[in-house]
Every structure is written in structure tokens, then in C-alpha cells.
Amino acid sequence: MSFLTAKNISKRFGGLTALDQVSLDVEEGEIRGLIGPNGAGKSTMFKVISGAYFPSAGSILFQGEDVTRQPWHKRAEEGIIRTFQETTLFEEFTAWENVLVGCHMQAHTGLFRAIFGRDKAREREAERKVQEVMEFMGVADRKDEMASDLPLGFQRALGMAIALASGPRVLLLDEPFAGMNPEETNTMMDLVRKVRDSGITVILVEHDMKAIMGLCDRISVLNFGQLLAEGAPEEIRNNKDVIEAYLGA
Ligand code: ADP
Ligand code: MG
């Protein structure tokens, strides 16, 4: 039984086919890259896996269970968590408040009810969790600073702390390196490895080839909504079709 499987996924928006019979098999504990040109269908694939969209055809299996028609919050409870391509921080809030509120907004699991519940003991437990994930992501030292004052790398780490607070089994990261300088990129690469080493499977959509090639165990390449290639970083780097469609540009 594989950990996470997308089977012949198609997604149409009116006349546009964003995904055309795409299949992926992700093993537990791997870092999988999902790459391809703009508009190839990467973010749509993430939304179909996480339940933000239902596919037009095909199925999603998570640990042997068919979750294709499960709503996103049910999947989040089972551990399929997506971070957003856009930065979603509240600039007027501190880093700490962002993680707390972000947790509340992300899902409906016990943790999030506890945060705003009347149960003091569970509230303290939620705050302990927020502290723990902020320490894990290396942002706890700056928890009282306004989110808008933090460098991009810290803001992204905060976004990942929010995702981690809900206890993911698989984390879908949509372009976490976008706009980062080389130093921030290196720090974020270490964080992604640390997340994986803690037992979380990672699927990564990214254009930064240094990050993709350095992090991923395997890479799947989308082009015009179709799976163009799949393999280890070295195979993908030297694949003629991939170079022509994407890497050569
Ligand atoms: P990528 O993330 O690889 O850049 P997307 O998955 O965002 O690509 O988009 C794939 C294609 O689907 C694009 O042509 C895009 O315009 C289209 N698309 C994505 N979301 C929607 C939507 N909600 N409605 C209509 N078209 C969409
Ligand atoms: Mg995208």
C-alpha cells in the first residue's frame, strides 16, 4: 500500500484542462518535487490532493483510503496540510499572534477549538503547541515582533509553523522559496529537511532548481497539465524532454 496516490487525476475548468490524467505515487518520508512551467497545473494538483478542489476524474488515496470526495477540513484532520503560495500573514499582528490565529483559521481540529475555547487547560495546551512549533521552525526568539517587520525567510517559516501546528502527515509546500535570497534559501532548505526528518512527508512545488535538486528524493514534472517525466534529480536534470519544456528556458 502506498502512502499517497493520485490516480489518473483530471481537472477541467470549463473548456480548459488544467490536469489531464496525472498519476503520482508518493512514499512515506520522501521529499517529492513537483515542477514545470507556469500554468502546468502544479497548484491545481495541490488543491486536488488537499481537497480545495474535487477532480473532474480520477482519485486520491491516502494510506489506502479513498479521500477523493472528502472535504479539505476532513483531510486536514487526517494530516494532509497545504501551505499557500501567497503569503497570508496579518501584518498588524505579532509573529506569535499570527501562528495562533493562523492555526485557528486553518482547520477545525481539536487544537483549534481549544485555542478559542473556554477550557483553560486545553487553551494552555494549544499555546504550548504554538511555542513548540515556533521553536522547531527557529522563529520563537522573534515571536513578539510584528510579522510585517520580519524578513521574508522568517515570514515563510511562520507559515510553516502554522501548518505544523495541525500535525501534518504530509505537507504540501507551494513555492516556499519564491523571492528568497541565497542565504534565506539555505536556511529554508535546512528547515524542509528538518520537517522531513521529524517524520513528515513533503511535496514541494518550486521553481528554484537549487532547492529542488538539493532536497528532493524524486521529482515529477508537469507540462500543460500532463505528467512529462518522473525520476531522481539526476535523471530529471538530464532528461531531454524536461530540458526542452522547462529547464532549458
Ligand atoms: P501552476 O501552479 O503550475 O502555475 P495552476 O495549477 O495554477 O498552474 O494552473 C493551471 C491552469 O489552470 C492554468 O491555465 C490556470 O489559468 C488554470 N486555472 C487554475 N485555477 C483555475 C480556476 N480556479 N479557474 C479557471 N482556471 C484555472
Ligand atoms: Mg502555482
Find the 121 Cα to ligand 2 centroid distance in Å. Answer: 40
Neighbours of 196 (CB within 10 A): 18
Pocket test for ligand 1, best of 12, 16, 35 (most atoms within 8 A of CB): 16
What is the 17 CA–ligand 1 centroid distance (Å)?
A: 9
Is the CA virtual torsion 203, 206, 209, 211 positive or negative? negative
Q: Which ligand is nearest to the CA of 34?
A: 1
Q: What atom of ligand 1 comes closest to residue 44's alpha carbon?
A: 6
- Read off the pTM: 0.92
In one letter, which amino acid is 232? A
Per-residue pLDDT tens over the stretch 86-131 = 556 777 889 998 888 776 665 445 555 555 556 677 778 778 889 9
Centroid of ligand 2 to alpha carbon of 39 (angstroms): 7
**Taking the CB of residue 214, how many other CB atoms lie within 10 A of it?**
15
For residue range 176-218, what is the model confidence (pLDDT) as tens digits?
A: 999 999 999 999 999 999 999 999 999 999 999 999 999 999 9
Give the Å distance between the CA of 115 and the centre of ligand 1.
Answer: 35
Q: Is any ligand 1 atom within 6 A of the Cβ of residue 43?
A: yes
